[in-house]
Each structure stands twice: as structure tokens, then as C-alpha cells.
Amino acid sequence: MAQSKTKVNWTYTAKKITDKKYELHLSASIQGGWHLYSQNLDKDAIALPTTVKFNKNPLVALSGKVKEDGKLIAEFDKATQSNSKYFKDKVDFVQEVTLKAKAKTSVSGEVEFMVCDDKSCLPPSKIPFTIAIQ
């Protein structure tokens, strides 16, 4: 479990779907009073959208885009004085992957995000992660 100075605790898990298909879960637990921005912000948004970058692994193919699983809030954000989309309390970022061969491996990468409360925002953070696939 990784904890940043930005009021978010991250956990990383792999969920087996079939022999070769897995879901990678990057789960954010957000401290009360703070919110974490969606990946899908308007292009003129002031806030930094959450991004998940995966390092290349020859044994793993990414399937589609990272999905968000949480209660999305779309409203006027007092901290940035703009319309915004964000999550409070918790959100899972989910990436489906397919193993190219039967082997134990891992997927690594980095999640970049920004959190705000009603008055201010903290600087963006980048957190590296590694998820074992068994």
C-alpha cells in the first residue's frame, strides 16, 4: 500500500477473469474532505486529470482503456473555479490485460493525480506501482 502526501492511499491488485485475462485494479482511498480528479476532464479544465501509464511488458497486452469504477461527481469546483469531474472517498481505476503466455509476471507503471478540497489543491503527485499477475 502506498501513501502519498496528497491525502490518498493506493492499493494494487490483479483479479483473474479467465486463464489469460486479468483486471488490474488501482484503488484510491481518498481522505475525507478531499477529492481526486477523473481521467476525463474537459480540455480547458484547470485541474490535472488522473493518468495511469503502464511500462511495456512483452508477456502482457493491454485491452482497451483504463476504466473508472466509482461515484463520479460532476459539478462546479470551488478550488479551481471551473466545472470539473472528480471522486470522493474511493475510486478504482481498472485496466483489462491479456497474458501472451502462461507465466508469472508483473505489470508496473505510474499513476499521476491531483487532489483538492473546497479551498485549495495540493501539487500533482506521481506514484510508481507494481502489480503481480499469478
Full pLDDT tens readout for the chain, 134 residues? 454 466 999 999 999 999 999 999 999 999 999 999 999 998 778 889 999 999 999 999 999 999 999 999 998 877 777 788 999 999 999 999 999 988 899 999 999 999 999 888 899 999 999 999 98
Contact 132, 13 (CB under 8 A): no
Q: What is the pLDDT of residue 3?
A: 46
CATH 2.60.40 at 2-133, yes or no = yes
The reported pTM is 0.90
* For the chain, domain boundaries: 2-133
**Contact assessment for residue 53 and residue 109, using Cβ atoms and an 8 Å cutoff:** yes
Give the H or E element holding residue 92: strand 90-99
The three grid cell numbers given for residue 132, joined into one nine-digit string:
503481480
